[in-house]
Structure 1
Amino acid sequence: MKAFEATVLSPADIDSLLQLQQNNLVQHISSQTAKTQGFLTFEYTRDILERMMTDMSQPVIISEETLVGYALATSIRVGEEIELMRPLVKMASELTLNGSPVSQLRHYFMGQICIREGWRGNGLFDALYAAHKTLFSPYFDCMITEIAVDNLRSQAAHARVGFQKIHTHRDATTEWVVVAWDWRP
C-alpha cells in the first residue's frame, strides 16, 4: 500500500473540496452507501471554508492533481461563528475528557473528514489524522468532533485512530456521539 502524505488546502482547491463534499452528503447518496461507506451531514460553503482557513491549516491529500481526502480543522472562534458548529462548541465546554474539564483544555474541533470513493481503505483517513496531530498537537491538548450514531463506519475509524466517546446527545433530527482525541502525555 502506498503511503500518503497530507498537505494543506489552498484557495485553488476549495472548489474540489466542495465537490467532494457534495458527492458524499447523506442526502446525495443511497442508504446502502451511507451504511457501508459512511456519509457527511454538514454542508460547508466557500465562505465558511475561507474563514476556517484564516485560523487553522486544513489538511488534505492530493494525488495526481485530484483532491482525494480532507479533514477540516475548526478553531473555537470560527466554530462559534458557524451555525452548524455552535451547539458542539457550547456543549464541549461543559464536558470532561479523562477527568479534565474540556473548558480548561486547549482544544479545537474536527469539522469533517472525507475520503473520495475508490480511495477508501488505503490509509488516507489515518494520514489525515496524523497530519492533524503533527500540525496541531504542539498547540492543543485534544481535538473534538461529533459523529452521527448511525454512521458506524466513521465511529469505528475514529476509535481506531484514538478517539474516545465522551458524550451522546440528540438534536431535532439526529443522535450524535461526541468523541475526543486526547494528545496529553
Structure 2
Amino acid sequence: MKKLANIIFQAASTDEHFIQIVDLQKRNHKQYLSEEQQVQDGFLFAEHSTEILNTMASVMPQMIAVNNGKVVGYCLAMNSAMQYYLPTLTPMFAQFENCQYQGRLLTDYEFMVGGQVCVDEEFRGLGLMNQLYQSLKKMVANHYKLCVTEISSRNLVSLKAHYKAGFKSIGNYNDGEESWNIVILDFTLGK
C-alpha cells in the first residue's frame, strides 16, 4: 500500500503539472470508462485543456498531490467568474443562484467552486481527496467561506467520498441529461 507520508500537497504551477492533470483526467473520464468501471470507481465529466488549467491557476490555486514527481491526485478550483471560461458549466452556476445554505441564498456568501477532483487508482483509499480539499481550504479560507460543487447522482463513489470529507447536500436538479447533487463544504466549521 502507498504511504501518505510520501505525498506532497501543493498548488499546480508548471506546464508538467497541467499535462499530468489532463492525463489523469482522461484516464478517469466517463467517455473512456465502461459502465461497470464508472459504477465501481466513479468518473469525471468535464474535460480541461492545459491552457484552461493555466488560466484557472492564475485565478485560484489548483491543488495537486504529488508522489515522486508524479501527479497522483488533483482538486481543481474556480471562482464564479470562471463560468465564462467554461460555458458547459453555465447550468451549474445558474442552479447555484437557487440554492440556500443556513437560510440564506448561496450567492449571499463568498464561495468558491470545486471544479473537479480525482485521485489515481493506485492511491485511492488513503484520504487524498480530503487532504486535497483541506490543503485548498488553507490557501483560500481567508477569501471564501464555502466550497460548492455538483456531482452526478449516479456517481455514488464520488458522492460517498464527498460526504465522508464533510460535504452536505443543499440541492439537486436535472439538466435533461443527468441528475445532479449540489453539495457544499463549509470552511468555517471545525476551526
Same fold (TM over 0.5): yes
Q: Is the 8 A contact 1:25 1:40 kept in 2?
A: yes
Q: Is the 8 A contact 2:61 2:136 kept in 1?
A: no
Deviation for aligned residue 1:30: 1.9
Query: C-alpha offsets along residues 76-108 of structure 1, whole Å, 9 cap, x if unaligned?
Result: 111233112222122212211121211110001
Q: Is the 8 A contact 1:7 1:61 kept in 2?
A: yes
Q: Which runs of 5+ in 2 are unaligned?
A: none
Are the structure 2 counterparts of residues 182 and 45 from structure 1 closer, same or farther at C-alpha, using a change threshold of 3 Å?
A: same
Q: Which residue is 1:98 aligned to? A: 102
Q: Which runs of 5+ in 1 are unaligned?
A: none
Within 5 A, what are the aligned runs for 1:17-166?
A: 17-166=21-170
Higher deviation after alignment, 102-111 or 79-88: 79-88
What SS does structure 1 have at the residue aligned with 2:76?
strand
| 1:184 has 2:188 as partner | yes
Q: Give TM-score scaled by structure 1 length.
A: 0.94
Superposition RMSD in Å: 1.3
Give % identity: 26
Deviation for aligned residue 1:124: 0.9
Q: Is the 8 A contact 1:51 1:78 kept in 2?
A: no
Distance, in Å, in 1 between the alignment partners of 2:32 and 2:132 is 24
Q: Is the 8 A contact 1:5 1:127 kept in 2?
A: no
2:11 corresponds, among 8, 13, 32, to: 8
Deviation for aligned residue 1:135: 1.1
Deviation for aligned residue 1:7: 0.5
The letter of the residue matching 1:29 is L
